[in-house]
Amino acid sequence: MEMNELEKKKEALKLKKSRIEHQERLLKLKERKNRTRILIEIGGVASKAGIDHLNTNTLLGAFLEIKDKEKEEGMIKRWTKKGAEAFDLDREKNGEPLIVTFNEEPEKKIKTQIRQEGLRWNRFRKEWQGFAKRLTIEKLLKGMEHQLQVLDDQTSGKEE
């Protein structure tokens, strides 16, 4: 009788261990995806700065210089201001990331105009997505029942 209880406890512990290992695998996967997203963003910033044509030795050297100078508070503030200005200028020129959804399908004329403004139809999510000027889209859709979502791209002068 006592062995049966011990075996049940042992089986319960194995089950708990298995759940913990599964949770650990999920956490590691989430960490890896987050790191990948960060690395992709760094590549995007390098491209936006126009330095993506440089070879890896040059880029690493530049990053190491940045690492050395990150201790200088004034330098960080100057870089942050300059970066925010560049992102704002880019946003004014190219628009901002938007998602537009409708309760009812808009007329063909409206869909054509939405495309001309830079948004594309996502047939899986059933929404219009892309970079466009928010005010232009709002004027275009004035009087129509729609939802407009501006995606937060976290580049508007925020310091980390």
Could you tell me where the beta strands, DSSP code E, fall in 13-54?
none
The 10s digit of each residue's pLDDT in 86-102 is 988 888 888 889 999 99
The 10s digit of each residue's pLDDT in 3-49 is 788 999 999 999 999 999 999 999 999 999 999 999 999 998 999 89
Mean pLDDT rounded to a whole number for the chain: 90
Cα distances from 12 to residues 2, 3, 33, 84, 141, in angstroms, run 16, 14, 32, 54, 59
Contact status, residue 96 vs residue 151, Cβ threshold 8 Å = yes
Segment among 81-85, 99-103, 112-116, 149-153 with least mean pLDDT? 149-153
On whether the pTM is more than 0.85, the answer is no
Q: CA 33, 35, 38, 40 torsion: positive or negative? A: negative
Give the per-residue pLDDT at 153: 56
Does the structure show a pLDDT above 90 at 116?
yes
C-alpha span between 55 and 58 (Å, rounded): 5
Reported CATH class of domain 95-153: alpha beta
